[in-house]
Amino acid sequence: MKRIEMKVSGGCQCGAVRYHASAMLDNSHLCHCRMCQKASGNIFTALVAAPDDALTWTRGKPSVWKSSELVERGFCANCGTPLFFHHLENGRTNLMIGSLDDPHAFPPHANTCTENMVAWFDTITGIENTGATENNGADWAAAIKTSNNQHPDRDTASWPVRWRDD
């Protein structure tokens, strides 16, 4: 894997946990293993790695669950956002691409662990595209916008995190 010096940031949905990376690896991929499916609550997990020496937690700390003897998975204990997959012995942390402030920067290069790929995965690009949220439910989209607690896709000096028991 090639190391690319670049600045990347990201974090959880509520803003309680934020991170920066000063370098990334060129390993963006979709993992279809059953553990990643369960950890993300989805049919695959989109991942890209930062070398451990290039990754810093800039706000809060992720909670960690050891999903096997070799792997720990990080998430925000407040909002539940999955943040990473970390193999304890390889020196890199695979960040959830969706947790990055700019997920468009890391298109996947491979599908991995395809023995658990759902049978209909290859049909996804052919299904109907119903368009933007605002076009399908303007009133609902407006209500969400006015009550949105989601952290923006950028660093903020401070952020009023709404805790689970608020």
Give the pLDDT score at 146: 81
Residue partners of 115: CB distance under 8 A and separation at least 6: 32
Query: Which has the closest alpha carbon to 35: 66, 12, 2, 80?
Result: 66
Q: Could you tell me the residue ranges of all domains in the chain?
A: 3-118
DSSP 77-110: TTT--EEEEEETTSSEEEEEGGGBS-GGG----E
130-148 pLDDT tens trace: 888 777 777 877 887 787 7
What digits encode the pLDDT tens for the residues 3-45?
999 999 999 999 999 999 999 999 999 999 999 999 999 999 9
Residue 133: what pLDDT? 74
Domain at 3-118, CATH class = mainly beta
